[in-house]
Structure 1
Amino acid sequence: MSVRIAVLDDYQHAASTMADWSGPLPGTDVTFFDRAITDQAELIATLTPFQVIVAMRERTAFPRSVLEKLPELKLLVTTAGSNAAIDLVAGGELGVTVTGTRAHPPGTAELTWALILNLFRDVAGDDARIRAGQWQTTVAGDLDGEILGVVGLGRLGARVARIGAAFGMDVVAWSPNLTAERAAEHGARLVTKADLFATAKVVTVHMMLSDRSRGLIGAAELGAMREDAYLVNTSRSPIIDAEALRTALTTATGPAKVALDVFDTEPLPADHWLRSSPRTLLTPHMGYVTEKTYRIFYGDAVEDIAAFLADPTTPLRPLVP
């Protein structure tokens, strides 16, 4: 009997073209799923026959309640090197090996700047207006000389900060453990959290989601922002308090515009309030969705599967609790 492999959340029908699923995996049966399966019972019923599952980042969760009802599952591959939506402890107890892949980090930083530039220059709006017969109806803002506030100066935040400095922006940064020396290494000045939100023209979020960062940006931070400020989140949605953001966007408080690439529920439901919210620029979690990233993700996933099928005792890139 052939090994059955499920490749999940292949929204763009890209997985089959980004790696060779046949040559390295002879005798396997690969099924690509192009939709999100959000109902847990449906997910279990769909995946019950599969011995191998490839998950795209955290699009589909694998808690204990799912893993324990997939008795055929032997290998769960997640793209990238970590996945908070997989219960690694349960996987180990149930005999499910979990492996990861390499990644290509620049994509999210590049999308961050696409959003920032569109907030300043309203490229999408100008495109719509010129198609409607209009011409030069707005005046754009300038990046040079403005303050860029970076919340979280890790790998991605540092890249965003350096690009901001190249645009001539005054880059300030804050995170709980950030030092002045590290900030200076990336062309930024360390400031307090309060000062960052009160002074920055653009606040961009680049922190990992944890108990400490959940709800980090709430009513106080949003209310302290300049009336002409922009807020950008390409990190994780729960870092910004959802109700506080909704209040800020429907009242006179908070930033002038908000750009979001991440959401509490993904895909974003058709009736979600953000779809009709004023002062927003939305993209469907596209930060890491680039050709280079996908080729690394899926190419490594095939390598992980081939190695496991050859010798289950020595998996490539295993993830442990």
Structure 2
Amino acid sequence: MNPYIVLSTSPTFTKYSDKAKKILETHNCQLVMIPPQELKDNEHFKQVLSEADAWVVGTNKVRATDLEQASKLKIIIKHGTGIDSIDLEAAAKRGIIVANAPGTNASAVADLTIGLMIAAARQIVAADKKTRNGFWGPVIGFDVCGKTLGIIGLGQIGRGVARRARGFQMNILGYDLVHDAEFEKENGIQPAGLEEILSTADFITLHLPLTESTRNLIGARELALMKETAFLINTSRGELVDEEALLKALRNKKIAGAALDVFQIEPPINSNLLELENVIVTPHMGGYTYGAMSLTSEIVAQSIVNVLFGKPPLYEVKLGG
């Protein structure tokens, strides 16, 4: 029997997990890795895609035109959570299952969010640079303990941030379309509207999926509501923030600073945000820890095998669901 072809355009799939490799190997799957930067006009990619039974997606987009030549494809699965880069309608029309691995990197992203909050408040990156250049003296920052944290989006990551923030004795304001009164009570979260969070929080962190209603959720109007001593943290999706409006707010010191792990265009080579001293930037690394990447790969591999052998994936994504 010919092996099943598993195409991966996620460079980290199976990289940190021998278990994920064994799951594929023991089920007659042949893995073909193609780096995302080599996809454009790549004949080898097109050929593999036409033969692939499964496609593991990283940060690259999956378009309807890609699927026109994927006649054998049974499953497209995101090596992670966000599926906004996948044309769900086109996949559904072709009867291709779409799946992801939600929650596997929630702790990792929550950890980074707290780290960025502290780094921004205490100017850790700037202090590191100054010290390396011979400076020795106080670098004045903002307090974190006892301050007000506004969490916009109380999914698994937002909840993880809330749990960690309790250790800093923070006042926590939470916004989500779905209220979980029990969780909010257990973790000392005060439900609040967007405007209340924006106008009162010392730190605001975003944890929402990208949809048409959340695109540019934080724009000029929203930034104007924030306190001049407040910080914005985004480890979710770059498109949630109007970057031009954020640039103006930071340049004009309308807010104290920002910490960004995600951007509208990645990598943000030409972004003027990179020139500002009151911005900390990281390369969309929120979910990248050894533990998170191993678990993600294992769930992805098992979902692929499930589908190839007539079972549902562990976490199927339904169109409109």
TM-score with structure 2 setting the length:
0.85
Alignment of 1:1-321 (within 5 A): 1-10=2-11, 15-20=14-19, 21-22=21-22, 24-25=24-25, 27-37=28-38, 39=40, 44=46, 47-56=49-58, 59-80=59-80, 83-101=83-101, 103-104=103-104, 105-176=106-177, 178=179, 183-253=184-254, 255-266=255-266, 268-309=267-308, 311=309, 313-317=310-314, 318-321=316-319
Q: Following TM superposition, by how much is the alpha carbon of 1:161 offset from its aligned partner in structure 2, in angstroms?
A: 2.1
Whether the 8 Å CA contact 1:113–1:160 is kept in 2: the answer is: yes
Deviation at 1:124, TM superposition (A): 2.5
How many Å separate the matches in 1 of 2:290 and 2:201? 33
Q: Which runs of 5+ in 2 are unaligned?
A: none
Q: Secondary structure at the match of 1:314?
A: coil
Q: Which moved more, 1:179-188 or 1:276-285?
A: 179-188
Q: CA RMSD in A?
A: 2.8
- Provide closer, same or farther for how the CA distance between residues 229 and 47 of structure 1 changes in structure 2, counting only shifts above 3 A: same
Distance 1:139 1:195 in 2: 28
Q: Is the 8 A contact 1:236 1:263 kept in 2?
A: yes
Change (3 A) 1:122 1:61: same
Structure 1: distance between partners of 2:176 and 2:274:
30
Q: Is the 8 A contact 1:19 1:302 kept in 2?
A: no
Number of equivalenced pairs: 313
SS at match of 2:318: coil
- In structure 1, distance between residues paired with 2:87 and 2:295: 24
Structure 1 gaps of 5+ residues are: none
SS in 2 for 1:16: coil
Q: 1:222 to 1:180 in 2, by over 3 A?
A: farther
Q: Do 1:25 and 1:306's aligned partners in 2 also have CA atoms closer than 8 Å?
A: no
State the shift of 1:102 in Å.
5.3
Contact 1:7 1:31 in 2 (8 A): yes
Give the partner amino acid of 2:168: F
Q: State whether residues 234 and 260 of structure 1, in contact with CA within 8 Å, keep that contact through their aligned partners in structure 2.
A: yes
Q: CA deviation at 1:176?
A: 4.6
